Amino acid sequence: MAEADSPDVPPAPVPEKPAPVRVYRHRLPTRIWHWVNAVTLLVMLMSGLMIFNAHPRLYWGQYGANPDRAWFAIGATADTGYVRFGETRIETTGVLGRWTDAEGEEKTWAFPGWATIPTSYDLAAGRRWHLFFAWVLSAGLALYMVWSLLGGHVRRDLHVRRAEWSPRHIWDDIKDHARLRFPRGEAAARYNILQKLSYIGVIFGLLPLMIFTGLTMSPGMDAAWPWLLDLFGGRQSARSIHFIAAWLLVLFFLVHILMVILAGPINEVRSMIGGWFTLPPERESEA
Amino acid sequence: MSGVLLPRRQLIARAGGLVAAAGALPLLSGCDAISEAPAVRKILSMGEEMNRASQRALMDRDALAREFTRADLSPVFRSNGTKLPDGAAYAAHAATRFADWRIAVSGLVARPLSLSMADIRAMPQRTQITRHDCVEGWSAIGEWTGPQLRRILEAAGVKDRARYIVFRCADRIDDALYYESCDMVDALHPQTILAWAMNGAVLPIANGAPLRLRIERQLGYKHAKYLTGIEAVASLDHIGAGKGGFWEDRIDYEWYAGI
């Protein structure tokens, strides 16, 4: 109590908490495109799995049908479901090839009802969803590419600087990600090298690949643009690439969600809705 | 004030019930309900017209489907749909190797025709090795020979009012005869032929003997088999259920099947 009675002793300094710094991180086109894509890619994936169910076999080359060798297939034996890669067969009863629907009925379509649009087999409806949202995806991507290139998004945010290309820098960034050591302060508002490469890879690589392999499956487009067949090595090769690229997008999505959760889901999601991002404070040891 | 409070409480209870019901409903059947809502179907179906219009804008009217070489032929050409039409009449034709088979050319034409297989084979022929794309996703490459549809339509003198060609078939699925249709762009396309030969031999029954349509820029279900008639019409409204084809009428496959 003595201390309290003595007015001469100054109170111990309480470190003042700095006010959170907010930065405008995502511009409106990015936010709109992000959420439109979130819906579109989900619809494309689930309706695409429905279409795949109509013929759950993949081939390389110009042609491929049941009598031909499939490099990948999902199928059913008398009492199991399986996935086959080349000569390797993996039993997937209950999930792929043979599963039980909500009514308890056993089905032998490749992908289960919870993964497809609609939930029960309807190729026409699956195609209707897929071929409509293909327009949403393509138009959105085209507009976003133009805006990103002309509006400075690519130059300012996605452009990989010379220093970032150094293997050491990339390796350091990989190590930081592996240790879940995310940038704080100012640096958190900028994309790191792995983010830049992922976003550029998706916008200018994977999504165009999906669209063009999709178009190669169209007999009309093959007549209009015969080079599509040469580019991908045939309609069935294009179908295989389309399927593989779809799962690469799913992989991107999973890593993306994981990173959002690890980096602070509320702040991240809020910035993708309203645009403003709160900078995580610098680490004390570094301050 | 109880008169005011009670409805409010009821309202809350009702809202709560709705939320609970929505939660109890399997999410997925909700998606299916969306999928089947007429307004949603209408919006999604706009994709078909967008695909047709854009493909027609992008491609030359006579842009050809890729033609392959004999080295590219599928070792086995998968047959699909009807593999053997029912009925004594077809069986009798098959027994005589379709010697008396006839194909009628009717509708909006100046000179209705009834062509025998000999007439078909006597016309100038086109042979093409093309890829057959099923809506389900598989493809097979085959060699096809037959007269161009445009030559038959010219012989019959198709009237200007004709906007579509309807293809009548001998195979019955679930008690209705198969049929298909296309517009005049595809009808007059150089690769649109009535094929009576496949891979250098007479067309097998499983693939549509004695005569089938090849319409190379569209999916497999448009390639009508077991042809009995060709009809030029101004509208598809009164053909079948009005959607222009057997599967279009029944399970909503797109009429424009270029994608």
In this predicted structure, what is the pLDDT of residue B213?
98
- Chain A contact residues (CB < 8 Å to B): 51-52, 54-55, 57, 62-68, 102, 113-114, 117-120, 122-125, 127-129, 131-132, 134-135, 215, 217-226, 229, 235-236, 239
Domain borders along chain A are: 17-55+121-286
In this complex, the residue of A131, A134, A222 whose CB is nearest that of residue B66 is: A222
Q: How many CB atoms lie within 10 A of CB B87?
A: 11
Whether pLDDT at A282 is above 90: no
B-chain CB neighbours of A132 within 8 Å are 43-47
Alpha helices in A160-218 (DSSP H): 167-178, 193-201, 207-216
Q: What percent of chain B has pLDDT over 70?
A: 89
Query: What is the Cα–Cα distance from B144 to B208, expressed in whole angstroms?
Result: 12
**Chain centroid to CA A48: how far?**
15
For residue A64, the 8-state DSSP code is B
Rounded distance, CA B187 to CA B179, Å?
15
How far does B250 lie from chain A, in Å, by closest CA?
A: 10
B73 and A68 in contact (C-beta within 8 Å)?
no
B16 to chain A, closest Cα gap in Å: 25
Tell me the average pLDDT of chain B: 91
B64-251 under CATH 3.40.50.2000, yes or no:
no
Among residues of chain A, what percentage have pLDDT more than 90? 82
Of the ranges A4-18, B6-20, B194-208, which is most confident?
Answer: B194-208
Is B235 exposed, middle or buried, given 0-12, 13-18 or 19+ CB atoms closer than 10 A?
A: exposed
Chain A to chain B Cβ contacts (< 8 Å): 142
A128 contact residues in B (CB cutoff 8 A): 41, 44-45, 47-48, 252
Helices (H) and strands (E) in chain B, counts: 8, 11
Predicted local distance difference test score (pLDDT) of residue A22? 92
**Given pLDDT bands bounded at 50, 70 and 90, which one contains residue A182?**
confident
Cβ <8 Å between A54 and B137: yes
Predicted confidence at residue B29, as pLDDT, reads 64
What pLDDT digit, counting tens, does each position of A183-197 carry? 888 888 889 999 999
Name chain A contacts of B258, Cβ cutoff 8 Å: 218-221
pLDDT at A278 over 50: yes
Among A122, A135, A222, A243, the residue to mutate for chain B (most B Cβ within 10 A): A222
How does pLDDT run across A223-266, given as a tens digit for each residue? Answer: 999 999 999 999 999 999 999 999 999 999 999 999 999 999 99
In this structure, which long-range contacts are made by residues A92-96, counting pairs with CB atoms below 8 Å and at least 24 apart in sequence?
none
> Hey, of B27, B34, B35, B73, which one would you mutate to test binding to chain A, going by the most A CBs within 10 A of its CB?
B35
**Quick check: B35 and A117 CB within 8 A?**
yes
Cβ–Cβ below 8 Å for B32 and A63 = no
Tell me which fold the domain A17-55+121-286 belongs to: Fumarate Reductase Cytochrome B subunit (1.20.950)
Query: Measured between CB atoms, which of B41, B59, B72 is closest to A224?
Result: B59
Distance from CA of A76 to the nearest CA of B (A): 18
Closest CA to A264 of A250, A287, A281: A281
Contact B219 A221 (CB under 8 A): no
Top-confidence residue, B28 or B206? B206
Tokens of A199: 């976003």
Per-residue pLDDT, B1: 36
User: Which chain B residues are closer than 8 Å to A110 by Cβ?
Assistant: none
Angle, CA of A38, A43 and A44, to the nearest 5° = 100
pLDDT digits (tens, 9 = 90+) for A67-108: 999 999 999 999 999 999 999 999 999 999 999 998 899 999
- Delimit the domains of chain B by residue range: 2-54, 64-251
Q: Is the pLDDT of residue B21 over 50?
A: no
| Greatest mean pLDDT range, A194-198, B40-44, B153-157 | B153-157
- pLDDT, position B195: 98
> Quick one: pLDDT at residue A12?
63
Whether a cis peptide bond, with omega within 30° of 0, leads into B210 is yes
CA–CA distance, B12 with B20 (Å, rounded to integer): 12
For an interface test with A, give the residue of B49, B56, B66 to mutate (most A CBs within 10 A): B66
DSSP tally for chain A: helices H, then strands E:
11, 8
* pLDDT grade for B33, boundaries at 50, 70 and 90: confident
A202-218, pLDDT tens digit by residue?
999 999 999 999 999 99
What is the per-residue pLDDT across A105-160, written as a single tens digit (0 to 9) for each? 999 999 999 999 999 999 999 999 999 999 999 999 999 999 999 999 999 999 99
Predicted confidence band of residue B32 (pLDDT cuts 50, 70, 90): confident
Q: What is the mean pLDDT of residues B171-187?
A: 96
Coil, strand, or helix at residue B104? strand
Mean pLDDT value of segment B220-241? 98
Q: pTM here?
A: 0.90
Dihedral pair phi/psi, residue A155, rounded to 5°: -65, -45
Asked if B252's CB is within 8 angstroms of A221's CB, the reply is no
* Interface mutation target, options B138, B183, B219, B254, chain A, most CBs of A under 10 Å: B138
Considering only alpha carbons, which residue of chain A is nearest residue B35? A118
Higher per-residue pLDDT: A5 or A110? A110
Chain A residues in contact with B46 by the CB 8 A cut-off are: 132
Residue B200 tokens, joined: 């250098």
For strands B102-107 and B227-233, give the pairing: parallel
Confidence of residue B27 (pLDDT cuts 50, 70, 90): low
Q: What is the pLDDT of residue B2?
A: 39
Element (H, E) at A150: helix A123-150
Cis peptide before A118 (omega within 30 of 0): yes
